[in-house]
Amino acid sequence: MVEASQLRAMQKGAFNRFKRLDINSINNFPTAAGLASSASGMASLAFGLSVLYGLDGDVAALARRGSGSACRSMFGGIVHWKRFPSESKFRYQTVEQLFPHTHWPELRVLICVTSSHSKPVSSSVAMRRTVSTSPLFREARATVVRERLPRFVDALARRDFPTLAELTMRESNELHALCLDSWPPAIYLNATSFAIIDFVHTLNARLQRCVVAYTFDAGPNAFLLTLADDAPLVLTLLSECFRSPSVNLNEHKDKAKKARLEESTDQRPHNFANLEVKGIQYASVDLSRSSVFAELLEVLPRCPNSIQYVLSTEVSLKWKPIALVMDFIQ
Please tell me whether residues 111 and 231 are part of one structural domain. Answer: yes
Please tell me whether residues 220 and 308 are part of one structural domain. Answer: yes
Rounded distance between C-alpha atoms, residue 213 and residue 197, angstroms: 9
Please tell me whether residues 96 and 216 are part of one structural domain. Answer: no
Question: Which stretches of the chain drop beneath a pLDDT of 70?
Answer: 14-19, 32-33, 84-93, 244-271, 317-330
Reported pTM: 0.82
pLDDT at 271 (0 to 100): 56
Q: Which domain holds residue 71?
A: 2-101+318-329
Please tell me whether residues 207 and 275 are part of one structural domain. Answer: yes
Please tell me whether residues 247 and 283 are part of one structural domain. Answer: yes
Please tell me whether residues 89 and 110 are part of one structural domain. Answer: no
Please tell me whether residues 240 and 113 are part of one structural domain. Answer: yes
Please tell me whether residues 112 and 150 are part of one structural domain. Answer: no
Q: What is the pLDDT of residues 184-199, one digit of tens each?
A: 999 999 999 999 999 9
**3-state SS class at 2:** helix
Please tell me whether residues 71 and 200 are part of one structural domain. Answer: no
Q: What Å distances lie between residue 124 and 68, 78, 121, 186, 218, CA to CA?
A: 10, 24, 8, 11, 10
Please tell me whether residues 114 and 239 are part of one structural domain. Answer: yes
Please tell me whether residues 195 and 150 are part of one structural domain. Answer: no
Please tell me whether residues 113 and 245 are part of one structural domain. Answer: yes
Collect all residues with Cβ–Cβ distance below 8 Å to 270 and sequence separation of at least 6: 236, 283, 284, 285, 286
Report residue 185: phi and psi, to 5°: -65, 145
The CATH number covering residue 238 comes to: 3.30.70.890
Q: What is the pLDDT of residues 273-323, one digit of tens each?
A: 789 999 999 999 999 989 999 999 999 999 999 999 999 999 886 655 444
Rounded distance between C-alpha atoms, residue 212 and residue 199, angstroms: 10
Last residue of a domain, which of 144, 161, 185?
185
pLDDT at 264 (0 to 100): 36
**3-state SS class at 257:** helix
pLDDT at 90 (0 to 100): 52
Residues 32 and 122: beta-carbon distance below 8 Å: yes
How many domains does one find in the chain? 3
